[in-house]
């Protein structure tokens, strides 16, 4: 991670550094210089979620790109994976998304895709950071008159994205008779998910699809599936599907009201592809945060597990290296690489219901394939991010927990790449033991560097 970029783009409180309007112009200018072409080359596409600050940052980033001499196409409100698709589909120079994903509405961010619809490498982010710091406005004297970039609104962006999603299914696929509850998190999925599932004939109940600029992710969506769970039980639905604010995550609820995590969805997807002979090289990629039960489930049917760093761009890098077809995170970022280049909550939802129909089993039964080990995750707000190995009390607390757990669990402590937090994850043989170990470590962190 650099000065501006975290694990998923540039993120922070909107209208505060580094996400002020003037900084967004500088960021846009840097993007235009790195990816654009001042000689009438392909444009850069920008999309956003439903946050109040989205218009401000979209306009500022677009202005910066135009100042580099590169044209801009505005896709307006659309899920993040929609921009990845449109960038590839239209041969754009790059794709930009104004979104802070699952964060509260006060936050916002800038995510980037290269011309192949893939999130940027560390090298590309470093190049952009250098230009942001230097503010390259003096080098743009040639972008004058008709060399200044123009801004146009893209027509049919959501329609094209929906058509792309439907192409991932058999032409005769139907959800007639299936009762589904959707939670759109008052975010970008509100504009596409109901239309997608309605077009397939599902009996729909739709929650949290009335964004007002300030209700995105508020007690809803993949981070807060309580309303979804309630609605599934009340409506006797077959399943519930929850997306996050920018539509790149999926969390499900089965017909009994149990929450199905990203790891469980990966296990179901891996078995589905494996049975079809479509799990390339019989390997699945997930991050170091994945539950131990995922690896055990995969091993039981001869699938190899490979671990990546946290962040779906690192999952994608590992998928590419291993020529693998499926990977993701427990948070619900899932990449079906035969179809897409990034995590896509709507695509993952379609693959889940396709697997359910093929196996003709309820989701609760399918989820039993993976045993979920008790896991406790504690987020500790911090005011700085020093190397944890230099904090003796924290190091001692981690060592003590690992000794207590032995080979019956594991400990993972890492800083968030998108927020001022340290995440403590402990898996153990019982919920009580995992919680006690995690809390002891969290207290040590809070005492050392907590806010």
Instruction: Say whether 101 is catalytic.
Output: yes
Could you list the beta-strand ranges (E) of 209-282. 239-243, 250-254, 259-260
Angle at CA 85, nearest 5°, toward 48 and 11?
A: 35
| Phi, psi dihedrals of residue 348, rounded to the nearest 5° | -60, -35
Distances (CA, A) of 196 to 31, 169, 268, 350: 32, 12, 22, 9
The C-alpha atoms of residue 71 and residue 423 are separated, in whole angstroms, by: 40
The C-alpha atoms of residue 43 and residue 93 are separated, in whole angstroms, by: 6
Residue found by looking up tokens 């020093």 in the block: 386
Burial class (CB in 10 A: 0-12, 13-18, 19+), 53: buried
The C-alpha atoms of residue 448 and residue 393 are separated, in whole angstroms, by: 8
Q: Which residue in the list 99, 101, 231, 331 is annotated as catalytic? A: 101
Q: For residue 132, how many C-alpha atoms fall within 13 Å in the half-sphere facing its CB? A: 23
> Dihedral through CA 258, CA 262, CA 266, CA 272, nearest 10?
40
Active site residues: 101
């Amino acid at each position: 991670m650099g000065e501006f970029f975290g694990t998923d783009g540039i993120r922070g409180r909107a209208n505060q550094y580094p996400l002020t309007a003037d900084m967004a112009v500088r960021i846009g200018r840097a993007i235009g210089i790195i990816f654009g072409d001042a000689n009438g080359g392909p444009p850069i596409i920008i999309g956003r979620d439903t946050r109040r600050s989205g218009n401000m940052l979209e306009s500022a980033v677009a202005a910066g790109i135009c100042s580099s001499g590169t044209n801009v196409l505005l896709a307006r409100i659309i899920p993040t994976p929609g921009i990845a698709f449109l960038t590839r589909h239209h041969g754009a120079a790059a794709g930009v998304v104004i979104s802070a994903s699952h964060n509260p509405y006060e936050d916002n961010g800038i995510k980037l895709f290269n011309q192949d619809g893939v999130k940027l490498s560390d090298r590309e982010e470093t190049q952009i950071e250098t230009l942001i710091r230097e503010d390259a406005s003096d080098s743009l004297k040639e972008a004058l008159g008709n060399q200044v970039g123009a801004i146009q609104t893209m027509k049919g962006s959501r329609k094209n994205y929906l058509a792309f999603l439907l192409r991932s299914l058999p032409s005769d696929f139907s959800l007639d008779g299936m009762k589904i509850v959707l939670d759109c998190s008052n975010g970008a999925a509100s504009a596409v998910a109901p239309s997608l599932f309605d077009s397939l004939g599902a009996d729909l109940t739709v929650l949290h699809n009335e964004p007002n600029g300030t209700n995105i992710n508020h007690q809803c969506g993949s981070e807060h599936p309580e309303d979804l769970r309630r609605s599934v039980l009340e409506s006797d639905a077959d399943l519930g599907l929850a997306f996050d604010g920018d539509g790149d995550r999926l969390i499900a609820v089965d017909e009994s009201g149990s929450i199905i995590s990203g790891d469980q969805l990966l296990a179901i997807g891996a078995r589905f592809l494996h049975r079809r002979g479509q799990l390339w090289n019989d390997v699945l990629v997930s991050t170091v945060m994945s539950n131990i039960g995922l690896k055990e489930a995969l091993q039981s049917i001869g699938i190899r597990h490979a671990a990546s760093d946290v962040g779906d761009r690192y999952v994608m890098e590992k998928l590419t290296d291993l020529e693998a077809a499926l990977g993701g995170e427990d948070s619900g970022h899932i990449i079906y690489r035969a179809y897409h280049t990034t995590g896509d909550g709507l695509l993952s939802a379609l693959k889940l219901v396709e697997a359910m129909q093929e196996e003709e089993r309820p989701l609760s039964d399918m989820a039993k394939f993976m045993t979920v080990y008790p896991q406790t995750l504690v987020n500790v707000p911090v005011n700085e991010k020093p190397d944890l190995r230099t904090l003796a009390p924290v190091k001692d607390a981690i060592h003590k927990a690992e000794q207590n757990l032995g080979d019956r669990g594991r400990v993972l402590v890492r800083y968030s790449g998108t927020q001022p937090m340290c995440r403590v994850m402990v898996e153990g043989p019982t919920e009580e033991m995992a919680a006690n170990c995690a809390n002891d470590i969290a207290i040590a962190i809070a005492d050392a560097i907590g806010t």
